[in-house]
């Protein structure tokens, strides 16, 4: 009765998770958060039409979802002016990243990313036995030239770039991203994570031929569309690559409810515009709150703002802890020197005021702790 | 621009899918099904309380689901009188099987199952490079002794048994299943797929110590709870094994809506009882329809009935095609001699009458085809 024989890769994996969720944090602390600004969820919510569509679909959830995600893929293809064969719908970007890493990474294979970039991507790479090679950010920006230089050195299966960047909120121009695509070495696939692209200025959105085999773009309904809890992501890529996912993906893995909700959300571009306006206003407000406290908010092309707490990582961690203790759920970057910042999601005025009330107290307490 | 370098396992995989979904079949044929009796979905639908809960959750789907599935796991633990540490919640049994195979199967590893048993399990085994070893059914039953004998021979990482069985609807006694658990060789994990167990008689449900490291049980909200399109499965197993899933699972993979729906469904045992009663009545009706047509319906402990068409696989396939041509979606077993049958899901009287109307025509047409 010694239990199963795990794979060598699994046996070596640590028991870590990429993120402890807010509910889990609440249970561990015994405190309920007053505001939830740590996961870059859209507190502005999903389109009312999407909610309606999900309610209708809930009534017929005895049926499996369409295994080919046909209606949603067709609508996304029309929206992006590509062929449906260039669109993969999956269980959030997290789910799609997991499939992609599985498809290309064997134990020992190299993967390149930026130190401090998306932990869940790294989780999947580690989970399949890949070896992560990182380059530092340049200032508060991911550094395409460094990512390419490292890729030339280690010949990775994948090189990851998020634009706009999480956790810093910074963005690169379309021209910089295009240059990176053009420089990707043979045999390396670039993963362009555009989870926050709907919040970015037009000049951050590159034109990329969907049949360009050097890059796969990731998009999501979790952020601007306010449907994080529905798990709908999609990828845009070369038809051969998209078809390869069919060899391993969970064909009936999408919920029927989420399929219906995403389709309705995509059709409600007015709601998206409304959210964008609210997000821009809330970013301004976060900037004001930061400067009211003598801090600097970094420019953001996302639905969150990195606020430089003006000290080192230990100080920012102390501020974060003091905010959590006051019922304000926020997160922070994981590596220096990015970790001089806390990362605060935008939200409606009432959430911003909770944050505005808690921040000076948290700063004062952190300064006392440190003194 | 030659595209990504896939893993050796992926490169070797064929572009097959375990099941073509009914919507995909409709698109390919240009016909809409009049009744959907092929995927063992519960046409009786989910609990109205579950639908309400899902509608409520849809409004706050801007939040990720609880990454630990705490409320649902606690409720399931109480329901099964086990510890929450023995419960894994995942994206349907299909999703959980995928995780499990990934955790234990390396390329070349042996896995044992019955020829004709669940194709999606095989899909995952192939998808991770495992080598399937099969034993035949004994009559219309999976054969625990043969599965164990084969396991002694090839020392598989996993041995799969579904009880009740899909696609035949047959079931083994709790005592037979227990004997199999007790005979599982060291180093092999038994996967006991109980997707249909809520329809089975009590004597088919074995007592198993949740900490027994030789077996993991799979359950689902897709069948009796009528929530196939919500993707909620769970596993009951030893705490160490359940914890190991945390190393690789998609922690935020469950939709918030499905979490809420499953919790409400579990609490509505009255609805489950209602569905069980309807299912039993509908099985009777399918038996009657079969005998009205001179055919034999096999005894079933599930929400579907295998109907022996009285000929060989080619004849049953012809009957199936003729049913599909008449807008009746049903499926059939994939291997001889099980494939002398078609597999028909139960449903409300109106669905049964559509089937009753189509079957004699399909049989006549199939006999003409064959003559």
pLDDT mean over A291-312? 98
Interface contact flag, B54 A51, Cβ < 8 Å: no
Residue among A242, A301, A234 nearest A265 (CA): A234
**Spatial separation of the C-alpha atoms in residues A67 and B159, rounded to whole Å:** 27
> Hey, are the CB atoms on A67 and B21 less than 8 Å from each other?
yes
- Whether a cis peptide bond, with omega within 30° of 0, leads into A14 is no
List pLDDT tens digits, range A14-56.
Answer: 988 888 999 999 999 999 999 999 999 999 999 999 999 999 9
User: Which residue reads 């000049």 in tokens?
Assistant: A203
Q: What is the pLDDT of residue A362?
A: 98
pTM of the model: 0.97
A28 touches chain B (CB under 8 A): no
- Does the beta carbon of A18 lie under 8 angstroms from any beta carbon of chain B? yes
Give the whole-angstrom CA distance, residue A165 versus residue A172.
8
Calpha distance B100→B180 (Å, rounded) = 20
Cβ atoms within 10 Å, residue A200: 19
- Among A17, A39, A230, beta carbon nearest to B246: A17
Which of the 8 DSSP states describes residue A350?
H
B256 contact residues in A (CB cutoff 8 A): 229-230
Contacts of B196 (CB under 8 A, 6+ apart): B40, B162, B164, B166, B223, B224, B301, B302, B303
Q: Which structure tokens are listed for A46?
A: 């999903």
What is the rounded CA–CA span in Å between residue B28 and residue B47?
Answer: 33
- B20-45+270-370 and B48-267 share one CATH topology? no
Interchain CB distance below 8 Å, A248 and B61: no
B253 Cβ under 8 Å from any chain A Cβ: yes
Contact state of A230 with B256 under an 8 Å Cβ cutoff: yes
The pLDDT confidence band at residue B3, using thresholds 50, 70 and 90, is: confident
3-state secondary structure chain B: CCCCCCCHHHHHCCCCCCCCCHHHHHHHHCCCCCEECCCCCCCCCCCHHHHHHHHHHHHCCCCCCCCCCHHHHHHHHHHHCCCHHHEEEECHHHHHHHHHHHHHCCCCCEEEEECCCCHHHHHHHHHCCCEEEEECCECCECCHHHHHHHHHHHCCCEEEEECCCCCCCCCCCHHHHHHHHHHCCCCCEEEEECCCHHHCCHHHCCCCCCCCCCEEEEEECCCCCCCHHHCCEEEECCHHHHHHHCCCCCCCCCCHHHHHHHHHHHHCHHHHHHHHHHHHHHHHHHHHHHHHCCCEECCCCCCEEEEECCCCHHHHHHHHHHHHHCCEECECCCCCCHHHEEEEECCCHHHHHHHHHHHHHHHHHHHHHHC
Give B3's contacts in chain A (Cβ within 8 Å): 189, 213, 238, 240-241
pLDDT band at B223 (very low <50, low <70, confident <90, very high): very high
Q: Mind telling me how many Å the CA of B61 is from chain A's nearest CA?
A: 5
Which fold is adopted by the domain A19-45+270-370? Answer: 3.90.1150
Q: Concatenated DSSP letters for A140-156? A: TB--HHHHHHHHHHH--
- Surface of B (143-182) touching A: CB under 8 A: 157-158
Q: What is the pLDDT of residue A18?
A: 84
State the pLDDT at residue B1: 53
A-B C-beta contacts closer than 8 Å: 288
Q: How far is CA B18 from CA A236, A249, B119, B192, in A?
A: 24, 11, 6, 20
d(CA A17, CA B158): 26
With a cut of 0.90, is the ipTM above it? yes
* pLDDT above 90: residue A179: yes
Q: According to the model, what pLDDT value does residue B124 have?
A: 98
| Selected residue of B4, B14, B71, B244 to mutate for chain A interface (largest A Cβ count, 10 A) | B4
Is the pLDDT score of A1 beyond 60?
Answer: no
Q: Which residues pair with B130 in a beta bridge?
A: none
All structural domains of chain B with their residue ranges: 20-45+270-370, 48-267
- Candidate from A65, A231, A240 with C-beta closest to B253: A231
Rounded Cα distance, A279 and A283, in Å: 6
Q: Give the distance from CA B156 to its chain's centroid.
A: 22
Task: Give A63-84 pLDDT, tens digit per residue.
Answer: 999 999 999 999 999 999 999 9
Fold assignment, A48-267: 3.40.640
Q: How many other C-beta atoms can be found within 10 angstroms of the C-beta atom of residue A43?
A: 22
- Helix (H) / strand (E) containing A192: strand A189-193
What is the C-alpha separation between B110 and B130, in angstroms, rounded?
Answer: 6
Chain B hits for A58, Cβ within 8 Å: 46, 50-51, 54-55, 58, 257, 261
- The values of phi and psi at residue A215, to 5°, are -145, 145
Q: Which of B95, B41, B113 has its CA nearest to residue B331?
A: B41
Q: Cβ atoms within 10 A of the Cβ of B108, count?
A: 9
Residues of A in contact with B213 (CB under 8 A): 1-4
Q: What local confidence, expressed as pLDDT, does residue A80 receive?
A: 98
Q: Is the pLDDT of residue B85 over 70?
A: yes
Percent of chain B predicted with pLDDT > 70: 99
Q: Which of A4, A55, A191, A254 to mutate to test the interface with B (most CBs of B within 10 A)?
A: A4
The whole-number average pLDDT for the span A299-306 is 98
pLDDT over 70 (residue A371): no
Model pLDDT, residue A3 = 80
Query: Candidates 3.60.15.10, 3.90.1150.10, 3.30.70.270, 1.20.120.140; correct CATH number of B20-45+270-370?
Result: 3.90.1150.10
Chain B interface disruption, residue of A231, A237, A275, A303, most B CBs within 10 A: A231
Q: How many CB atoms lie within 10 A of CB A366?
A: 22
């Amino acid at each position: 009765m010694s239990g199963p024989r795990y794979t060598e890769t699994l046996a070596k994996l640590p028991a870590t998770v990429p993120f402890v969720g807010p509910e889990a944090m609440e249970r561990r602390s015994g405190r309920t958060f007053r505001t939830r600004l740590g996961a870059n969820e859209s507190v502005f919510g999903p389109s009312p039409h999407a909610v309606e569509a999900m309610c209708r679909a809930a009534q017929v959830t005895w049926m499996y979802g369409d295994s080919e995600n046909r209606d949603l893929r067709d609508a996304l293809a029309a929206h992006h002016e590509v062929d449906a064969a260039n669109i993969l719908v999956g269980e959030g970007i997290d789910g799609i990243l997991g499939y992609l890493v599985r498809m290309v990474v064997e134990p020992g294979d190299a993967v390149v990313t930026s130190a401090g970039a998306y932990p869940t991507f790294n989780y999947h790479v580690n989970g399949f036995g890949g070896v992560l090679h990182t380059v530092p950010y340049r200032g508060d920006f991911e550094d395409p030239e460094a990512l390419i230089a490292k890729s030339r050195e280690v010949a990775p299966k994948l090189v990851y770039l998020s634009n706009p960047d999480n956790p810093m909120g910074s963005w690169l121009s379309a021209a910089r991203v295009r240059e990176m695509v053009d420089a990707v070495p043979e045999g390396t696939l670039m993963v362009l994570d555009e989870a926050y692209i709907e919040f970015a200025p037009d000049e951050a959105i590159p034109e990329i031929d969907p049949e360009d085999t050097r890059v796969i773009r990731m998009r999501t309904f979790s952020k601007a569309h306010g449907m994080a809890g529905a798990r709908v992501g999609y990828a845009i890529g070369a038809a051969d690559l998209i078809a390869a996912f069919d060899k391993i993906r969970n064909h009936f893995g999408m919920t029927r409810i989420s399929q219906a909700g995403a389709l309705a959300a995509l059709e409600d571009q007015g709601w998206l515009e409304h959210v964008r306006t609210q997000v821009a206003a809330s970013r301004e407000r976060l900037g004001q709150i930061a400067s009211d406290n003598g801090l600097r908010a970094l420019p953001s092309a996302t639905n969150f703002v990195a606020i430089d707490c003006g000290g080192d990582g230990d100080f920012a961690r102390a501020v974060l802890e003091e905010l959590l203790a006051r019922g304000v759920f926020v997160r922070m970057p994981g590596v220096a020197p990015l970790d001089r910042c806390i990362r605060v999601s935008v939200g409606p005025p009432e959430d911003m005021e909770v944050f505005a009330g808690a921040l000076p107290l948290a700063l004062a307490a952190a300064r006392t702790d440190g003194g």
